[in-house]
Structure 1
Amino acid sequence: MTDRRLAIEAWESLFRAQHEVFDVISCDFDDTGLSQAEYDVLLTVTRAEDMTARLRDVTANMLISQPSVSRLVDKMAARGLVSKWPDPEDGRGSLVRATAEGAAAFRKVASLHGKSIAERMSLLDDHELQQLRDLTAKLREKKPH
């Protein structure tokens, strides 16, 4: 059985590390015209085939509620960063596509943000990075209670 005290210490350390690293790299979005949330939407959309994703897939990758994601995407559409239309395969769903302007804004920020992430993560060697990736993936697996 897992040592409860150790589990709590490990969780607190993981949480604090994530929070502190996020604070350091959050300035990547200053003066870019994109918020972190908008970047996250564009990250999902630009990685999808034809830079088009279902709204539910965008929501699944976000840390905010579905209604909040929907409002955010509507605001991004009004700014010309994405387009949104009904999903012909799901009457209740929507499709979201990055516009040329949105994709360009994403690439500009992604270059800077990727550099910041790589710089911060360079405190770990490649083996440690692989371990971290694998351990956090394991923590994200859904297990029945």
Structure 2
Amino acid sequence: MTDRRLAVQAWESLFRAQHEVFEDIRSDFDGTDLTQAEYDVLLTVTRAPQMTARLRDVTGNMLISQPSVSRLVERMVTRGLLTKCADPEDGRGSLVTATENGAVVFRRIAASHGRSIAQRMARLDNDELAQLHALTAKLRGGA
């Protein structure tokens, strides 16, 4: 049986670490062409085949509500970072695709952001990083 007190302590430590890391990397987006939320949308979209993802998959990867994601995507379409069309396999859904400009902007910021993350995570060695990855996947219900 899990020790309840230890479980709460571990949760609080994980929560505080996540919050502190987010605060550290938030500045990665200062003075760039993307907000952190826009970057997250493009991260999901550019990793998908043909840089096209279902809007519901984008929403599933975000930490904001579905209506907020929809408004964000519409603003990104207006800015020329994404296109949006009906999903031919789901009449109620939409597909979003990164434009060439959106992909270029994303890649430019991703290189810098990736270095920032790697620098922050360098406090852990490779074995610890692998263990952290496995533990967080387990907490999320992944294999």
Which residue number in structure 1 is paired with residue 74 of structure 2? 74
Output the CA distance in 1 between the equivalents of 2:122 and 2:134. 17
Long gaps (5+) in structure 2: none
Which residue number in structure 1 is paired with residue 117 of structure 2? 117
Q: What is the one-letter code of the residue matched to 2:2?
A: T
Q: How many residues align?
A: 142
Output the CA distance in 2 between the equivalents of 1:53 and 1:137. 22
Superposition pairs for residues 1-145 of structure 1, below 5 Å?
Answer: 1-141=1-141
Output the CA distance in 1 between the equivalents of 2:124 and 2:26. 20
Output the CA distance in 2 between the equivalents of 1:133 and 1:89. 33
Please tell me the root mean square deviation across aligned C-alpha atoms, in Å. 0.8
Superposed CA deviations along residues 50-84 of structure 1, whole A, max 9, x for unmatched, are 10011011111111111111111000000000000
* 1:88 Cα offset (Å): 1.0
Identity percentage over the alignment? 72
Superposed CA deviations along residues 13-72 of structure 1, whole A, max 9, x for unmatched, are 000001001111110000102001100000000001110011011111111111111111
Output the CA distance in 2 between the equivalents of 1:62 and 1:21. 17
SS in structure 1 at match of 2:92: strand
* TM-score, reference length from structure 1: 0.96
Long gaps (5+) in structure 1: none
Q: What is the one-letter code of the residue matched to 1:16?
A: R
Output the CA distance in 1 between the equivalents of 2:103 and 2:65. 24
Q: What is the one-letter code of the residue matched to 2:102?
A: G
